[in-house]
Structure 1
Amino acid sequence: MHDMTLAEALGELAALEDPKMRAANEKRGDDHGINLSRMRAVAKKIKTDQPLAQELWSTGETAARLLALLICRPRDFTADELDAMLRETRPPKVNDWFVNYVAKKTPLAEEMRLRWFDDPDPTVAAASWSLTSVRVAKDPDGLDLPHLLDLIERNMKDAAPRPQWSMNETLATIGIHHPSLRARALEIGERLQVLADYPTAPGCTSPFAPIWITEIVRRREG
């Protein structure tokens, strides 16, 4: 099979467009109308294709960008390309997939984490906190965890929604993976009450850090 062209890939996406799905997605800020499992099927057909991924990304269209994130090769992006892409990930699903499928998978993850850490753009700062959570869980050596807790304690309450969510994830990750800091993480979560009233579906764990930490620790140690 020949490599799929940009026009063919956009044609496949257009054929999947569903007005009802678009209406539901747009309520969440995602301006596309495609069932994501169908989009994944298109990506599976294409496999990995970095040149096509870059063409899809440069259309600026949400559906095309989501497909690009599924077929790209994260290690092929330069630091400046990653930085530019992140700054354009306004729709929530594009942001989520970029952080999870590209930023967390690139060999430049630590370089980007540091580069993005104090960025004034909340989307950029949030990505840094997401990468920090990965390090807290998998590779904490060299991280100043008490200092991270200081920053969360000082800044999380008034942070914009994206960095607030990511800081909260780091808070919970510290509490779950580092027993010596668990009491402090729980205390910060209780005092700040960030996401305490977040609606949580039955069977799911609340993102409120004290509940999240306690539940995961119970499961791991149970």
Structure 2
Amino acid sequence: MDLEMVMQELEALGKERTKKIYISNGAHEPLFGVATGEMKPLAKKIKYNQPLAEQLYSTGNYDAMYFAGIIADPKAMTVADFERWMDAAYFYMLSDFVVAVTLAETDIAQEVADTWIASGEELRMSAGWNCYCWLLGNRPDSEFDESKLATMLEIVESTIHDSPERTKYAMNNFIYTVGVSYLPLHDKAVETAKAVGPVEVKRDKKKSSFLLASEVIQNAVDKGRLGFKRKNVRC
């Protein structure tokens, strides 16, 4: 399938209601409003296709950019490619659920995520922290440096309340993902969550929401889900 055919297929799957939900979360035109589950049959037909993924991502159409992440071949992407994708990721559903997810399937994931976390840019920081969440929830504990993750928990504890709004979400995700999916630091993550307490996230034209990592960790403990790892990062 070529770019034009895929764009036609995506447009046919679009729904006005879904489009409105995406726009309320920060998406803007052009977009069709395709539910992510509706993309799966099309993705099965195409499988991995990096050249097509690049074409789709460069359209600037939200649904095409999201679908690009599903059919991308992460191992064919370089640091420069991920930087380019991040430059075009204009809101969190792209930075966290397309770019960070795709990055999490590469050997350069931690290296790139570290630079994004240190960047001071809201969406890059958010993608960096979230990439670690995708990694921790999928890869064996042995692939991580325990002292590095412990230091990252300390950074979260001391900076989360003063961080940009989307970065707060990602840092909160990091605390509970370490607590649930990385057993060597479960106790430290619980301590960090308690020390951090509720995290207020301000949202445009909506009431603030409050995040509480300690509750999420406790729920996982109650359900016997400590050590949870998902089979695949991407759908």
Same-fold status (TM-score > 0.5): yes
Q: What's the CA shift string for 1:32-85, capped at 9, x where partnerless? A: 322222222222222221111111111121111111111110111111110121
The aligned amino acid for 1:181 is: K
In 2, Cα distance between equivalents of 1:151 and 1:76: 32
Give unmatched runs, 5+ long, in structure 2. Answer: 202-209, 227-235
Give the share of equivalent positions with the same residue, in percent: 24
Q: CA, structure 1 residues 71+135, in 2 after alignment: closer, same or farther (shift >3 Å)?
A: closer
- Equivalents in 1 of 2:225, 2:36: separation in Å? 35
Displacement of 1:136 in angstroms is 5.5
Deviations 1:130-163 (A, max 9, x none): 2333565633325434422321122101211221
Q: Could you tell me which amino acid in structure 2 is paired with residue 110 of structure 1?
A: Q
- 1:156 partner SS: helix
| Counterpart residue number, 1:6 | 3
Offset, 1:91? 3.4
Q: Distance in 2 between matches of 1:77 and 1:97?
A: 17
Q: How far did residue 30 of structure 1 move?
A: 2.8
Match in the other structure for 1:149: 153
Q: Where do 1:78-93 residues align within 5 Å?
A: 78-93=78-93
User: Which amino acid letter does the alignment assign opposite residue 194 of structure 1?
Assistant: V
How many residue pairs match? The answer is 210
- The more displaced of 25-34 and 118-127 is 25-34
User: Matches of residues 42-81 of structure 1 in structure 2 within 5 Å?
Assistant: 42-81=42-81
Say if 1:175 and 1:52 are closer, same or farther in 2 by CA, change over 3 A. closer
**Paired letter, 2:213:** A
How far the C-alpha of 1:207 sits from its partner, in A, is: 5.2
Aligned residues of 1:172 and 1:185 also touching (Cα < 8 A): no
Q: How far apart are the structure 2 equivalents of 1:207 and 1:59? A: 34
Tell me which of 12, 17, 27 is aligned to 2:14. 17
Three-state SS of the structure 2 residue aligned to 1:157 is: helix
- The answer as to whether partners of 1:116 and 1:127 remain within 8 angstroms in 2 is yes
- Structure whose residues are more often strand by fraction: 2
CA distance in 1, matches of 2:179, 2:126: 19
Task: Map residues 57-136 of structure 1 onto 2, 5 A cutoff.
Answer: 57-134=57-134
Mapped to 2, the partners of 1:134 and 1:38 lie a distance apart of: 22
Out of 199, 202, 209, which is 1:194 matched to?
199
Which runs of 5 or more structure 1 residues have no equivalent in the other structure? 197-205
- Whole-angstrom distance in 2 between the partners of 1:15 and 1:184: 49
Report the CA distance shift for 1:117/1:10 in structure 2 as closer, same or farther (over 3 A): same
Which range moved further: 117-126 or 15-24? 15-24
Rg bigger for which structure?
Answer: 1
Match of 1:216 in 2: 220
Match of 1:27 in 2: 24
Correspondence list, 1:166-181, <5 A: 166-176=170-180, 177=183, 178-181=185-188
